């Protein structure tokens, strides 16, 4: 049950990890200033949203359904930090960028707001 409801969120997290692991020269230079910051925001907003929905729908671990949004916010923000650290420590041709980490966190907050706009507060907070 857990994996069935969280398949999209976990898949999206793997997708983010793959994108962050690709060497920087794999990406074309953008003519739009700070386009990568918009991309980081989008990626982590979607991650937050998918994990929140998955955690609420699953019934395997009831404790994940209590204060779900707070738990998912912590998990997704930590994941954003981990991906940045991995870029500097493990992935070839990548480096840590403080602003990327900030926009990862900002994306999580955008996802939080999006979730509340669609589903409302109720008992998820």
Does the structure show a pLDDT above 70 at 62? yes
| Lowest mean pLDDT, pick from 20-24, 26-30, 64-68, 75-79 | 26-30
Residue 101: which pLDDT band, with cuts at 50, 70 and 90? very high
**Sequence ranges of the domains in the chain:** 1-18+50-125
Which long-range contacts link 91-98 to residues 24+ away (Cβ below 8 Å)? 91/20, 91/21, 91/22, 91/23, 92/23, 93/23, 93/24, 93/25, 94/20, 94/21, 94/22, 94/23, 94/24, 95/24
How large a percentage of the chain has pLDDT more than 70? 92
Which pair of structure tokens corresponds to residue 12? 């999206």
Does the structure show a pLDDT above 70 at 124? no
Whole-number pLDDT of residue 32? 75
How do residues 25-56 score in pLDDT, each as one tens digit? 666 676 777 888 999 999 999 999 999 999 99
């Amino acid at each position: 049950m857990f994996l069935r409801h969280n398949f999209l969120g976990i898949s999206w997290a793997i997708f983010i990890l793959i994108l962050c692991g690709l060497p920087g020269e794999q990406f074309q230079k953008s003519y739009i200033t700070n386009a990568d910051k918009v991309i980081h925001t989008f990626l982590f907003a979607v991650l937050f949203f998918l994990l929140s929905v998955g955690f609420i729908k699953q019934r395997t671990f009831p404790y994940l359904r209590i204060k779900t949004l707070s738990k998912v916010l912590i998990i997704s923000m930590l994941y954003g930090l981990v991906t940045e650290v991995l870029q500097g420590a493990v992935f070839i041709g990548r480096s840590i960028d403080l602003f990327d980490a900030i926009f990862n966190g900002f994306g999580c907050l955008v996802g939080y707001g999006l979730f509340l706009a669609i589903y409302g507060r109720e008992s998820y907070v």
